[in-house]
Amino acid sequence: MAVLSPELCYPFFVNNPVSSMKTVRPIKVIIADNHEIFRELLGTLLTRESKHITVIKKVANGVELVNAVKELQPDVAIVDLRMPVKDGFEAIKEITAKTSVRCIATSVYENKYYLAEALQAGALGFVYKSAEKGAYRNAVYSASKGLSYFCKAAANTVRIMESEKKKGYSLYKRVQFTDIEIKIILLVCQEYSSKEISDRLFMGKRNVDHHRAIILHKMKVKTTAGMLSYALQHKLFTLNDLAE
């Protein structure tokens, strides 16, 4: 994977007043995230921060995003990486392969493996959900001009990735877990038994045990403690998720 150089990690418009931006028409944006509150808040934030941005659609999964892109032909799509039906990685790959729409990836998980895979899929930049004020607006501006943008924390991650690449380290490819595996991992880490998980997920106990064995094999661990350590290290979920 070609990692972008650090000089491209900063916002194109950071040293220019927003009012100086010359556009023929507003930048059309679609927001894709499976959390309704986040979609609504981000949409409101973008339109308040800039008169040059118009949010034309908000969708909840990758399939809805791909369909909305075909129908509405936006300039930029802000895409959460963890969505049901079709995740953000797959949606970005499909959109960038078939259209000229620029995609900005976003995630609550500040994970270099997610960042690397999003760029491989075709994302033009990455904004963590904990990013500094104005990051999403600057990402939209930059992407609309075909320029890369990374929030400050993501830019630092890119530098680390470049340094590792120069030292000969290969980028770790993210292990793929299915939606049902993610649910089982979370429940196991919350100390639910296989019988309790089968009741909650409406599946047979033997099926749960089969999934658990596959998960342990994928993680290359042998115990529940190892599964928890792996899940937190690779940010499959947060400690707050465990408390729910």
Residues of the chain with pLDDT under 70: 1-24, 164-174, 244
Structure tokens at 212: 């658990």
The pLDDT assigned to 16 comes to 36
3-state secondary structure of 72: helix
The CATH 1.10.10.10 portion of the chain extends over 179-243
> Quick one: fold of 6-166?
Rossmann fold (3.40.50)
pTM metric for this prediction = 0.65
Q: For residue 159, give both structure tokens.
A: 């530098």
3-class state of residue 132 by DSSP:
coil
pLDDT at position 114: 83
* Assigned CATH for 179-243: 1.10.10.10
The rounded distance, in Å, linking the Cα atoms of 88 and 84 is: 9
Structure confidence at residue 92 (pLDDT): 95
Half-sphere exposure of 82 (CA within 13 A, CB side): 19
Q: Which residues of the chain form CATH 3.40.50.2300?
A: 6-166
CA pair distance 191, 227, nearest whole angstrom: 11
